[in-house]
Amino acid sequence: MIYAILRRFGQMLFVMFGISVIVFLIFFATPGSDPAARIAGRNASPEVLEAVRHSFGFDRPLYVQYGLMMQKIFITGDLTSFVNRGWKVVPAVIDAIPVTLSLVFGAAILWVVVSVIIGIVAAATRDSWLDKLLMALGLIGISMPVYWLGEVMNLITQSRYHDSWLFSWVPPLGYKPLMSDPKGWFLTLVIPWITLAVLYIGIYGRVLRAAIIESMQEDFIRTARAKGLSESRILLRHGLRTSLISFVTLFGLDFGALVGGSALLTEVVFGLNGIGKLTYDAMQNLDLPMIMTTVMYASMFVVIANAVVDFVYILLDPRVRTS
């Protein structure tokens, strides 16, 4: 098992290295993409461009530029923005991480709990009116774009009915740190949590229902019935347990992507200055260092999330250890 974990860790480091090289080449070595021209401005003279290249090290070999860039990102942390001069990129990303983690963790807890309940109830009442109703509601949740649902939620809670007893507790858009204001942190994130979780509740509920129904046809389920176990115990202790494998796989992929920046639309709609919002603003201004740092952060978090899922498989399933 230790060898399998070490091998997977080595693969993770290799993938991270490849991602860093590809991202660096895309932003700094693609023909026609001259970062010095972006820094100096449109009407800069050749002398100014040459001075900028020398100042930022763009006139040095690519491998040297790559090494310096990785050093500034991962070691010294003194990489500065090309748009907002003097603005440190790495500290800005670090400040944005708690916002994204707060959003994604809360939404993940909500969608996991609700989707497990929906999946179990729908599978237990297969082909009944309740099963069809839950699956229809899940399909509606999947069909609603996050940005549209977020704007509707803002319209209801921030404008139309904000003064009513039902939504008077909703604070203005934005984020409040957990440590300094726990209550404000919770209240500002409740509506974003619900908005982000709706999509995944529909997806995960339908996936879990299908997995449970499939597992209930297996031989070990028939053996459990032959032993005289109750249907509820068979469903929860045997059917649900084996069905969670696909659930965990899906969760690992989605959670990694969301923390890596896929929650962008939710952050933009609700004014949360997380990784997604930071990337969005950098793309608006073509701030190459910020874009590169956030893209590398997003990619590497997805790789780490997938590696964690693989480690869980190694611990849970002995067959994976020899594969």
Question: pLDDT tens, 86-107?
Answer: 788 888 888 888 999 899 999 9
Give residue for tokens 């997938």. Answer: 306
pLDDT tens-digit map of 222-280: 777 777 777 777 777 777 777 777 788 888 888 888 887 778 888 888 988 888 888 88
Provide the 8-state DSSP code for 13.
H
279 in Cβ contact with 199 (< 8 Å):
no
3-state helix, strand, coil in the chain (%, to 5): 75, 0, 20
Whether 140 has a pLDDT exceeding 70, the answer reads yes
User: Residue 211, Cβ neighbours under 10 Å: how many?
Assistant: 21
pLDDT band at residue 114, thresholds of 50, 70 and 90? Answer: very high
240-257 and 182-215 helices cross at what angle (nearest 10)? Answer: 130
Please give the Cα distance from 39 to 114 (Å, whole number).
Answer: 49
Dihedral through CA 133, CA 136, CA 140, CA 143, nearest 10? 160
* Distance of alpha carbon 76 from alpha carbon 242, whole angstroms: 46
State the pTM of this model: 0.81
Name the DSSP letter for residue 170.
P
